[in-house]
Structure 1
Amino acid sequence: MTAAALHDRAQLASAARVVVKVGSSSLTGADGRLDPDRLRALVDVLAARRAAGGQVVLVSSGAIAAAIGPLGLSARPRDLASQQAAASVGQGLLVAHYTKAFADHGLRVGQVLLTADDTVRRGHYRNAHRALTRLLDLGVVPVINENDAVATDEIRFGDNDRLAALVSHLVHADALVLLTDVDSLYTGPPSLPGSRRIAHVTGPADLEGIDVSRRGSAVGTGGMVTKLESVAIATQTGVPVVLTSAAQAADALAGRDVGTWFAATGRRTSIRLLWLAHAASTRGRLQLDEGAVRAVVERRTSLLPAGVTGVEGTFEAGEPVDLVAPDGRVVGRGLVAFSSEEVPTLLGRSTHELREELGEGYDRELVHRDDLVLVRRRR
């Protein structure tokens, strides 16, 4: 590892605010039940960080896994209703253990249940930011989990990985630490001979050819793919990430050479655009002609009705839609200014024509550039 990379890691030791995400497999035993000893070991590490003056936000999976034993289940339930019931039972057990373990260090915890949209949706994120900031100011350790008991599609959102990345942006964290069931990212499945640890990643190019297809543990929902998706969210918005095992959490927080360090590749962005890029579920699709694709992608302009050839889906004004090139590629996402009922009458027409025929208010952008994000093509 280069001297610069080691210097980056060393800064984690003095970071003022860190988000730590722990997966179900790091908190449970082989039987799928919550393992209090594993949980206390993690709390000991986080409490030491607090004692040293650092703030910690804990994003913890494990609610559903914690209920497997008490409910007499043989494995993690697959149907949504059973998952929600298990989450309802298990969340109380999980927080009770955290409350006791942190209290042994003289610390209080505050439970915060979120969905990904709660962290970034306009009208919600300010409340979440204020609540979490106040908890930290009061010396409380926020324990965040996805609101699985009422979630629908979010319950399969990636074992809290993406939520943790969004939270790291929400609370203005200096770093994100992802604790999983492997100690690092490897060039292939860690069990295969020849797989090598990757100590430092500076950007997407460093991950080309890496096999991350291995599924996560039996009690969790996320695998390495979801970890890297959350890494991309965090690093692209200015938050560096360490990925390692819970057993190496203390060394990771101390800035030592463990796990994989992902350097920040971008700067903080609007939380609305972050939501559009990574968390929003789109309600429809706008088909663009080649000229509109060039204008939006290359010149970063707003999308005008003249460049749109078709519309799909049902949506209201202000809802997110995909912007699709003639070859079917999704090139962007944006908040559309008109409903799906209004859009067809606008397609292919200039703003001058629309103003002359329909009046003022119809001569504006279909998607304003301030409400638009580009979607990078996956390799």
Structure 2
Amino acid sequence: MASSLTQDELRAHIAGARKIVVKIGTSSLVDASFAVSPAKIDAIVDALEVRMAAGSDVIVVSSGAIAAGMAPLGLTARPNDLATKQAAAAVGQMHLAQAWGASFARYGRTIGQVLLTQADAGRRDRARNAQRTIDRLRQMGAVPIVNENDTVATSEMRFGDNDRLSAIVSTLIAADALYLLSDVDGLYDRNPDSPGAHLITEVRSGHDLARVAAGDGGALGTGGMAAKVSAARLAARGGVPVLLTSAAVIGGALADAQVGTVFHTRPESRLSAWKFWALYAADAEGVLRLDAGAVEAVTRGGTSLLAVGITEAEGDFHRGDIVEILGPGGEAIGRGEVAYDAGELQFMLGKQTSELELSQRRPVIHADYLSNYASRL
């Protein structure tokens, strides 16, 4: 996608995208009593079927497991403790899967449930397995229904919300577009119920968000508008354009994309699939702290990280692991694949290349395997 596309051209691209991820928020899937709403899901599937009949492959990222388990368990408010959340998710996943399956069966389509945790995306081999599973389901004519595996995920294993999950899935499978659908028809510069609230129809960079005040999640969901904007920008950095709008207008969104807010990709700051994974999905096994000179060098891009610029190494990492890179004040700089075990690196810190053994003179992190946060805007 070229950054020179006009808004109309981007919307046309999204409307005609071959492989799309459609994320549906909790409030669009359950009724007022927190039970799964077959009528709401049928309306969504009807619109998805039209798009699929036109030739698009669809991957659904479905929220709602915890909310869907509340009514069957007699809960009247979203639980706060982890054990009850996981119990509700265990029940709710069953109800959600049955509802999606019954709805798609009206069109003779089979669904496949794909439950992921951060740990699945955090390891490269498991991320590839998830990618292959989703792709194989598509090839066999099934509709993948993806959700975070809330029944086992702990706070350390969570994506945080299904908006972020959908962004990571979109880049993982190289989707052509991502739809983020919730109960709000687009991104506004303030609460859309406030007088004078203005709809922002396109976002090209962080500068377009300078005056936007985005809120947090509602009574049922975990991801408010701030989470959606973050996920949209995340997907866009991975090369996937995004349409953010309401599930209530899903028909128009999938037909011509002339609704809501579109997020442009930025080819000049687009990350390769590996760098995106390392920066936003991988599990970091350790930390490297840099001096100011090294920070300046690596944030320019194209520069490898040498031992001389590293002041401290933390963690029991091994060669080939992903490590977090911090500046002298503890600020997050980026991530990379380290070329040495932690024990060996301890004896190299702060040394010029000429002071090292011949076997230690390669970069600690080669530029090809180093990704920084500098161009997030």
Shorter-chain TM band: over 0.9
Asked if the contact 2:217–2:225 (Cα under 8 Å) also holds between the matched residues in 1, the reply is yes
Q: Residue 51 of structure 2 aligns with which residue?
A: 49
The answer to whether the aligner puts 1:349 opposite 2:351 as a matched pair is: yes
CA RMSD of aligned residues (A): 2.2
Q: Residue 365 of structure 1 aligns with which residue?
A: 363
Cα deviation for residue 230 of structure 1 reads: 1.0
* CA distance in 1: counterparts of 2:82 and 2:101, whole angstroms: 28
Asked if the contact 2:115–2:146 (Cα under 8 Å) also holds between the matched residues in 1, the reply is yes
Q: Residue 229 of structure 1 aligns with which residue?
A: 230
Asked if the contact 1:115–1:154 (Cα under 8 Å) also holds between the matched residues in 2, the reply is no
TM-score (norm 2): 0.92
Structure 1 counterpart SS, 2:356: helix
Of 336, 339, 342, which aligns to 1:337? 339
* CA distance in 2: counterparts of 1:49 and 1:299, whole angstroms: 40
Q: Residue 219 of structure 1 aligns with which residue?
A: 220
| Range 89-98 or range 330-339, more displaced | 330-339
The answer to whether the aligner puts 1:254 opposite 2:251 as a matched pair is: no
Cα deviation for residue 3 of structure 1 reads: 9.5
Q: CA offsets per residue over residues 70-119 of structure 1, 9 Å max, x none?
A: 01112121111221221111111100111100001111111111124424
Cα 1:275/1:50, change in 2 over 3 Å: same
Q: Residue 187 of structure 1 aligns with which residue?
A: 189
Q: Residue 129 of structure 2 aligns with which residue?
A: 127
Q: Residue 242 of structure 1 aligns with which residue?
A: 243
Residue pairs, 1:227-306, within 5 angstroms:
227-266=228-267, 269-298=271-300, 300-306=302-308
Amino acid corresponding to residue 266 of structure 1 in structure 2: P
* CA distance in 2: counterparts of 1:6 and 1:241, whole angstroms: 13
* CA distance in 2: counterparts of 1:118 and 1:42, whole angstroms: 28
Asked if the contact 1:19–1:176 (Cα under 8 Å) also holds between the matched residues in 2, the reply is yes
* CA distance in 1: counterparts of 2:13 and 2:350, whole angstroms: 53
Cα 1:378/1:49, change in 2 over 3 Å: closer
**Paired residues, what number?**
373
TM-score (norm 1): 0.92
Q: Residue 198 of structure 2 aligns with which residue?
A: 196
Structure 2 counterpart SS, 1:124: helix
Cα deviation for residue 155 of structure 1 reads: 6.4
Q: Residue 151 of structure 2 aligns with which residue?
A: 149
Which ranges in structure 1 are unaligned for 5 or more consecutive residues? none
* CA distance in 1: counterparts of 2:296 and 2:161, whole angstroms: 37
| Range 220-229 or range 304-313, more displaced | 304-313
Structure 2 counterpart SS, 1:18: strand
* CA distance in 1: counterparts of 2:304 and 2:67, whole angstroms: 46
Asked if the contact 2:302–2:368 (Cα under 8 Å) also holds between the matched residues in 1, the reply is no
Structure 2 counterpart SS, 1:309: strand
Q: Which 4+ residue blocks in structure 1 deviate beyond 6 angstroms?
A: none
Structure 2 counterpart SS, 1:349: coil
Amino acid corresponding to residue 168 of structure 2 in structure 1: L
Cα deviation for residue 314 of structure 1 reads: 4.0
Amino acid corresponding to residue 186 of structure 2 in structure 1: S
Cα 1:236/1:168, change in 2 over 3 Å: same
Cα deviation for residue 335 of structure 1 reads: 2.2
Cα 1:295/1:11, change in 2 over 3 Å: closer
* CA distance in 2: counterparts of 1:5 and 1:335, whole angstroms: 37
Structure 2 counterpart SS, 1:257: coil
Cα deviation for residue 331 of structure 1 reads: 1.6
Cα 1:58/1:328, change in 2 over 3 Å: same
Structure 2 counterpart SS, 1:264: coil
Asked if the contact 1:283–1:313 (Cα under 8 Å) also holds between the matched residues in 2, the reply is yes
Structure 2 counterpart SS, 1:296: helix
Cα 1:284/1:3, change in 2 over 3 Å: closer
Structure 2 counterpart SS, 1:342: helix
Structure 2 counterpart SS, 1:341: helix
Q: CA offsets per residue over residues 286-342 of structure 1, 9 Å max, x none?
A: 221222122212253111111111233443333332222223322221222333333
* CA distance in 2: counterparts of 1:322 and 1:314, whole angstroms: 13
Q: CA offsets per residue over residues 112-166 of structure 1, 9 Å max, x none?
A: 1112442463112322222222211121111111111111126653321111111
Structure 1 counterpart SS, 2:99: helix
* CA distance in 2: counterparts of 1:255 and 1:248, whole angstroms: 11
* CA distance in 1: counterparts of 2:49 and 2:125, whole angstroms: 33
Amino acid corresponding to residue 291 of structure 2 in structure 1: D
* CA distance in 2: counterparts of 1:56 and 1:91, whole angstroms: 20
* CA distance in 1: counterparts of 2:31 and 2:158, whole angstroms: 22
Cα 1:119/1:324, change in 2 over 3 Å: closer
* CA distance in 2: counterparts of 1:241 and 1:6, whole angstroms: 13
The answer to whether the aligner puts 1:21 opposite 2:23 as a matched pair is: yes
* CA distance in 1: counterparts of 2:68 and 2:351, whole angstroms: 57
Cα 1:3/1:112, change in 2 over 3 Å: closer
| Range 289-298 or range 147-156, more displaced | 147-156
Amino acid corresponding to residue 133 of structure 2 in structure 1: A
Of 79, 82, 96, which aligns to 1:80? 82
Cα deviation for residue 269 of structure 1 reads: 3.7
Q: Residue 98 of structure 1 aligns with which residue?
A: 100
Which ranges in structure 2 are unaligned for 5 or more consecutive residues? none
Amino acid corresponding to residue 235 of structure 1 in structure 2: A
